Structure 1
Amino acid sequence: MAEAIYNLAIETSSRRGGVTLGRGDQVIESVDLGAQQRHAVALMPAIEDVCARHAVTPPAIGEIYVSVGPGSFTGLRIGITTAKTLAHVTGAKLVAVPTLDVVVENAPVEFGHVAVCLAAKRGQCFTGLYQRSEDRWQRVIDPTLMTPAQLVEQAPRPLAVVGDNLPPFDWPGDVECLDPSLAEPDSAVMWRLGRSAAKADRFVEAMALVPLYIRLPEAEEVWQARQSQ
């Protein structure tokens, strides 16, 4: 039997961020980057430290799982660039993990339908809708920008909503807004989803690994608007 390879998950779509090191189907250690530190400063030292603690050298890492958003514009770029660089150096295979798929795993399983909503500008949310089926969450509506009113109009009932910093909205009685802390993606959960995708051979080439942004950064929106005038 072939020796189990090491695998690494990189989560930088949120303020907290984190990395998880595993081997085969087992998590070895998860480390939070910390909300008070910039990912550009904290990410590589965290990866180096967790690998050093377990005597894992870069060539031993065979798979890298990375969050692709939506989430922090800067954080996503840092995480994906780091994943691509490590893959180039180590020869590791890459897996893209959507952030909303990670967040919905925090929701209690008793809810049949859950919407994950990450606040965006202009009263909108980047939203994905999921239903519980065969002991797992299945995506019903792919990540898209919509207002809470549009979500309420389209989503089945009863519905639970996982989100933080949501725009003000009078949610109907058959919609339950869960604790905002559940909207924080966890690198260990992301590792589990990434490992499942890797076992199904759902790898991506480095050139195809790009962030799924909520929208263009405001500066780029302004620039594009000016160019179109």
Structure 2
Amino acid sequence: MVADERGALIAPLVLAIESATAAPSVALVEGDRTLALASAQPGASAAATVLALVEAVLVDASVRLSRVELFAVAIGPGSFTGLRVGLATVKGLAFASAAPAADVSTLEALALAAGSQRSRVAALLDARRGDVYAAAFGPGERELLAEGLYPAAVVAERLATGCILTGDGARLHRDLFAGAACSPAEPCMSPAEAVARLGLRRLERGLARPAAELVPHYLRRAEAEARRLGIATESKNPF
């Protein structure tokens, strides 16, 4: 937060990008207010849509890029291509404006969007071969399940009864969670709005930095890269 000439606190203007999931979204947020939001259709190419979404929210809110005071971006886990597109976009925009950037966990953003500030929420993204990228959070930013790559069946065994589920991994493996009395999420905000709010928290904690320093958090090496290097990408079970 910054103060105006009267000492009143002014929330920074945040441009947030979430391109790690199947439906990329971009939000322009000021404090608790969403000034503009744009989302692509599920399955849309991040490379073909993210920059257009950025332009759309700026036009919608009648805001110049130079007014943006913080860029926030989901750094993973999630789609390898989507993560690269989101990071490249933020780095290009931040270079032009010199504003700092904040990196945000995709799973934490999905959980916040699903209501983790008031309920226990598990965010799961499909990692293929029966695995999921997963993390669980509760009120007060409590981490109930550490972010990681897990077999979906193991996550289903470990999750607390009554946990809210969100993410494509939860939908894909819904049969595994049927006995845990878990319920699907009813999002209270978009993933991009959640990225903006988490990015602002990082700024307030002094964790924002130059966008050029941000790197993707894949958790699993991209399969094409693994094949090139001859590295197996086996599931890991930390329990």
Q: TM-score, normalised by structure 2?
A: 0.79
Task: Note if 1:65 corresponds to 2:72.
Answer: yes
1:211 maps to 216
* Structure 1 residue 77 corresponds to structure 2 residue 84: yes
Per-residue deviation, 1:119: 1.3
* Worse overlay, 7-16 or 188-197: 188-197
Q: Secondary structure at the match of 1:120?
A: strand
> Which segment drifts farther, 2-11 or 62-71?
2-11
Letter in 1 for 2:38: V
- How far apart, in 2, do the equivalents of 1:168 and 1:26 lie? 34
Aligned mate of 1:143, from 143, 147, 152? 147
Instruction: After TM superposition, give the deviation of residue 62 of structure 1 in Å.
Output: 1.3
Identity %: 26
Cα distance between partner residues in 2 of 1:23 and 1:111: 22
Superposition RMSD on alpha carbons, in Å?
2.9
- CA deviation vs aligned residue, 1:28-53 (integer Å, no higher than 9, x gap): 11111333542222222222232234
> Does the aligned pair in 2 maintain the 1:107–1:162 contact within 8 Å?
yes
Distance apart, 1:145 and its partner CA: 0.9
Kindly state the Cα deviation for residue 189 of structure 1 after the two structures are TM-superposed: 2.2
- Secondary structure of 2:109 counterpart: helix
Secondary structure at the aligned position of 2:230 is classed as: helix
Distance 1:201-1:26 versus aligned 2 partners, 3 A rule: farther
Paired residue for 2:47, among 24, 40, 61? 40
Secondary structure of 2:76's match?
coil
Residues 159-174 of structure 1 correspond to what in structure 2 (within 5 A)?
159-164=163-168, 165-167=171-173, 170-171=176-177, 173-174=179-180
Offset at residue 168 of structure 1 (A): 7.5
1:160 to 1:151, Cα distance in 2 relative to 1, 3 A: same
User: Could you say what secondary structure the match of 2:179 adopts?
Assistant: coil
1:195 aligns with 2:200: yes
CA-to-partner distance for each residue in 1:66-92, whole Å, 9 max, x for gaps? 111111111110011110111111011
Match of 1:178 in 2: 184
1:68 aligns to what SS in structure 2? Answer: strand
Off by >6 Å, runs of 4+ in structure 1:
none
Distance in 1 (CA, whole Å) between partners of 2:43 and 2:174 is 27
For structure 2, the 5+ residue unaligned runs are 233-239
**Of residues 218, 223, 229 in structure 1, which corresponds to 2:228?**
223
